[in-house]
Chains A and B, each alone.
Chain A
Amino acid sequence: MNLAHEHVRAFLDDAASVLRSMVGTQLARRIATDERVISILVRARGALSGFTWTFSPEVAERVATHLVPGTAPDPQLCEAAASELANMLTGRGLQTLAERGLVLEIEPPELSRGGAPGATYVVDTDVGVVSVTIHS
């Protein structure tokens, strides 16, 4: 199914509130081309089959140091930060989607090996790009 624009906007509004509190954010119109990006898949059951979030390493580092001040984020910790951020961004919008008739159960985030078709939306933060692909 195609997700109506107003549902996507409401979902992204919830995600943006999380990003704003953690890394600072503004809307953007470009797509990341950085090959170092970390992609996280959150599988879902119900109205949609999942979400793939893509973060620059800088975003993941910022989240890691936000959650655990004083830490020196290594690649493993950055992946953990990206996973947790994907979990937060998806989880925050679930009630909003449910109120619009899109009821979902999500699964633990996993590093994405990519590929499934979907619609991609991009949010630019002060330290790098976050994008989400919503799989219908």
Chain B
Amino acid sequence: MKPTVLVIDDSALIRLQLKQLFHRMDWHVVAEAASGDDLLALYEAHRPSLVTLDIVMPGKDGVTAATELLQAHPEAAVVMCTSLTSRDKIIACQRAGVLHYLLKPLEPARAEQIFRHAVNRQTAVAS
């Protein structure tokens, strides 16, 4: 079965870039959103293999959304895709249980490697 992905980013262009990347990986993007506001509901509706999450977005920011998601669903595989280099944000994401922190602009080969690692790791933990 194909891995499934939930993409959360306020940039339509980045969502397009990620969908193109996941299409090449033969993964299925089940839903996308431009804010962290609906992350929990979308996760519970789709139970994706992977969540990619931006940090600076209108409404609920990515760190808050990731923290809430991982408190409710510690099994979720979350990778941040962000432009922020701020150390406090990176530490906050680590504390929340985020698996990886990818800096934009995304380098496709590296991003693919990270996404596969995140899903493989969560699959191994679950089994």
Q: What residues make up the interface of A, taking CB atoms closer than 8 Å to B?
A: 14, 18, 21-22, 64, 66-69, 71, 77, 80-81, 83-84, 87-96, 98, 106-108
Contact = CB atoms under 8 A, between A and B. Distances in A.
Contact of A95 (B12, B16, B87, B105): B87
Nearest 7 Cβ contacts at the A-B interface:
A91-B83, A95-B85, A80-B13, A88-B83, A91-B84, A84-B11, A67-B17
A111 to B, nearest CB: 13
B16 A68 contact: yes
A87 B57 contact: no
B86 A107 contact: no
A18 B17 contact: no
A89 B104 CA distance: 10
Interface residues of B, number: 21
Contacts of B85: 14, 91-96
10 contacts: A18-B105, A67-B13, A67-B14, A68-B20, A71-B16, A84-B104, A87-B83, A91-B83, A95-B85, A96-B85
Contacts of A98: 86-88
B74 interface: no
B82 interface: yes
Contacts of A77: 12-13
